[in-house]
Homo-oligomer: A and B are copies of this chain.
């Protein structure tokens, strides 16, 4: 990717995981709704490549998108419990605005941060907690219809469908990454679900690097580490993107602090 890569929501958790490992790998443009504190901006990113704008405000996006080759679109309300008005505006309308700006600017690729919450309601009372366990065979692979566990998940599914439309209509390459549970350093302790959908920081950065470098049309992939516990298939991410996760939540089992109770 020779052209600049625009990262929306650069100051958030996923954005920071990406920049931590890939700061020197791409010519970054950073966009966030709030001014980024200096510690969240890699040293080699020019001040002129840092933009403060709301993704729903299309007038402000032109300059940030000018000459960009790829977009990693993370901006949005990240709260699973976010109210409808917020996800309607920030996540659904904001994502449509980003796709339009991408098409107008001649962008080739968009990697969209979708979420496990787009399919969270597959975790029914009948299937859990068994589906979180190593010996369970249940898998979601990205071909299933959305089944959101909250309105945030509805908004992420809508972002995926927008991507499908912008791919079909404008030949934009779009990959939707249903991000699992991103935590730094180690997987969540005492939380089977979180261990099953754990995504390490370095696997997150590697996965989005592959989204920038691989060739694809329209894809929905799951973004988790290579956990022994899992109910998301990594097959598409491996095959289409060349994703090779390095981490596994099972490797941390004996590092779990002993409970004091």
Q: A234 interface residue, CB < 8 Å from B? A: no
A147 partner, pick from B96, B145, B164, beta carbons under 8 A: B164
Would A154 and B158 count as touching, CB distance under 8 A?
A: yes
Would B145 and A165 count as touching, CB distance under 8 A?
A: no
Could you tell me how many residues of chain A have their Cβ less than 8 Å away from some Cβ of chain B? 25
A residues adjacent to B (C-beta < 8 A): 84, 88, 92-93, 96, 121, 143, 145-151, 153-154, 157-158, 161-162, 164-165, 168-169, 220
The CA of A153 and the CA of B168, in the complex, are separated in Å by 13
Closest residue to A146 on the B side, CB-wise? Answer: B161
Would A157 and B161 count as touching, CB distance under 8 A?
A: yes
Closest residue to A156 on the B side, CB-wise? Answer: B161
**Interfacial chain B residues near A168, Cβ < 8 Å:** 121, 147-149
Q: Which of A121, A162, A165, A220 has the most CB of B within 10 A?
A: A165
Given contacts A143-B145, A148-B161, 15 further A-B contacts (CB under 8 A): A84-B96, A88-B88, A88-B93, A121-B165, A145-B164, A147-B165, A148-B164, A148-B168, A149-B165, A149-B168, A154-B158, A154-B162, A154-B165, A157-B161, A161-B161
The CA of A151 and the CA of B153, in the complex, are separated in Å by 20
The CA of A158 and the CA of B1, in the complex, are separated in Å by 33
Q: List 22 A-B contacts (CB under 8 A).
A: A84-B96, A88-B96, A92-B92, A92-B158, A121-B165, A121-B168, A121-B169, A145-B164, A146-B161, A147-B164, A147-B165, A148-B165, A149-B165, A149-B169, A151-B165, A154-B158, A154-B161, A154-B165, A157-B161, A158-B158, A158-B161, A161-B161
